[in-house]
Amino acid sequence: MLGEFEYLLITTAARLGDNAYGAAIREGIEEVAQRKCSIGALYTTIERLENKGLITTWMGEATPERGGRAKRMVRVTGKGVRAAKEFYEAMMRVSKGASWAVNQTGNLS
Amino acid sequence: MTYNAWSMVEFSARLLSRNERDAVLGDFLEASEAPWKALFGVLGLAMRRRLMLWKSWRPWFAAFGLSLPCSLLLMYVSISVICTLERLLGFHLGHWAPTGHEGFLMLLCHIFLLITWSWTSGFAASSLSPRTLCWNAAVCLLVGTRFISMHTHFDPVSPYYSLLFVGPAIWGVRQGRRMLRLPLRHAVALAATMTLLMTWAWTSNALWVFNWLLLYPAWYLVATARTVPYNPTRQVASSTR
């Protein structure tokens, strides 16, 4: 099963779609999770997820605002989507009956 | 970011691979990260990358099962070879003489064995874990020279003599990084020659019992030798270890 940070990364990458790359994912995680995301944690997790076959990465285009440096683009694979879905369902099941989870919908389409 | 601060970040980013360096520095520029945060970020990532290498058994085995014991033994062999040479040539700079009766022929045998032991140890360590070699070398030299100094504290030149094996070992490391595995024929020929010469030295009472340990890198190279022709693409893929 995925770890919490792995789930955050996959979900953010999936949400960003074709715009998923290092800086955007980092910003997305910090915005949603309300916590700092170090570049070290981000890139080591990206590599780990890629080794597990849950995401694929490639070097994208260079832009002027990046000083002409390329982006590391990320795409979630089918296996990654399944792993994220499993994690989400497990969290929903385990949260059922907990006071903070009342009135939350846990159904997945 | 000031020019100086950014230069420091760029310099520290050399610890990362080229693609990762591009991605990380680009991310920092895009996010207008503070220079000191970027610097700690890069150093943190580089440290994580180095630490992750040690999650596998290979670097541990290369360091403590191969490099360290072999370097200690090779340091003693180096001293022994130079002391024998000095004795045969009729001069002696140090005071510690670990050898006694060997003649020129046995000296040549020891020199050949020293070179091949060092070369095979370097090759094996490099093919086992190429990316942790610097750490291995640093630990071996630090521990080894300290150990030798403790045992030969009365002899000022022995610690320098003990580094004779370093040259062939570096040669082996370079070859190991390039080839990763020896062709089977070459590996067998090398290991068999070493075994024969060691047997001869052993029967002539000119070999320390622990020196037999130095033979296992050679047979490790036989066990991992390649039987298919050299393929540069496959070598590059396996060099990511």
ipTM of the complex, rounded to two decimals: 0.84
DSSP codes joined into one string, B190-217: HHHHHHHHHHHHHHTT-S-GGGGGGGHH
Band (pLDDT 50/70/90 cuts) for residue B42 is very high
How confident is the model over A42-53, as pLDDT tens digits?
A: 999 999 999 999
Which chain A residues are Cβ-neighbours of B20 within 8 angstroms? 43, 72
Give, rounded to a whole angstrom, the gap between the first and last alpha carbons of chain B: 36
Which chain A residues are Cβ-neighbours of B31 within 8 angstroms? 23, 26-27
Q: For residue A76, give the 3-state DSSP assignment.
A: strand
Which chain B residues are Cβ-neighbours of A41 within 8 angstroms? 48
Least confident of A60-64, B1-5, B191-195, B212-216: B1-5
Return the residue of A nearest to B38 by Cα: A39
Would you say residue B152 has pLDDT above 60? yes
Residues counted in chain A: 109
- Best interface-test mutation with A: which of B15, B21, B29, B30 has the largest number of A CBs within 10 A? B30
Cα B190 from chain centre: 18
Beta strand A55-63 with A69-76 is antiparallel
Which chain A residues are Cβ-neighbours of B28 within 8 angstroms? 39
Cβ atoms within 10 Å, residue B233: 7
Would you say residue A17 has pLDDT above 70? yes
Q: Exposed, middle or buried by CB within 10 Å (0-12, 13-18, 19+), for A49?
A: buried
Band (pLDDT 50/70/90 cuts) for residue A12 is very high
Cβ <8 Å between A39 and B24: yes
- Which of the two residues, B201 and B154, has the higher pLDDT score? B201
Q: What pLDDT score was predicted for residue A103? A: 64
Q: Exposed, middle or buried by CB within 10 Å (0-12, 13-18, 19+), for B241?
A: middle
Q: What pLDDT score was predicted for residue B94? A: 58
- Which of the two residues, A10 and B147, has the higher pLDDT score? A10
Q: What pLDDT score was predicted for residue B154? A: 57
User: Which phi and psi angles does A75 have, rounded to 5°?
Assistant: -135, 135
How far apart (Å, rounded) are the C-alpha atoms in residues B186 and B199? 20
**In the beta sheet, which residues pair with residue B226?**
B183
Highest mean pLDDT among A69-73, B1-5, B205-209: A69-73
Closest CA to B239 of B180, B188, B152, B156: B180
Q: What pLDDT score was predicted for residue B180? A: 82
User: What token pair was written down for B106?
Assistant: 């046995």
Band (pLDDT 50/70/90 cuts) for residue B236 is very low
Contact between A55 and A77 (Cβ < 8 Å): yes
- Please give the C-alpha separations between residue A13 and each of A46, A73, A76, B161, in angstroms, as whole numbers: 10, 9, 7, 58
Mean pLDDT for A72-87 is 97
Return the residue of A nearest to B45 by Cα: A40
Check residue B224 and report its DSSP letter.
Answer: T
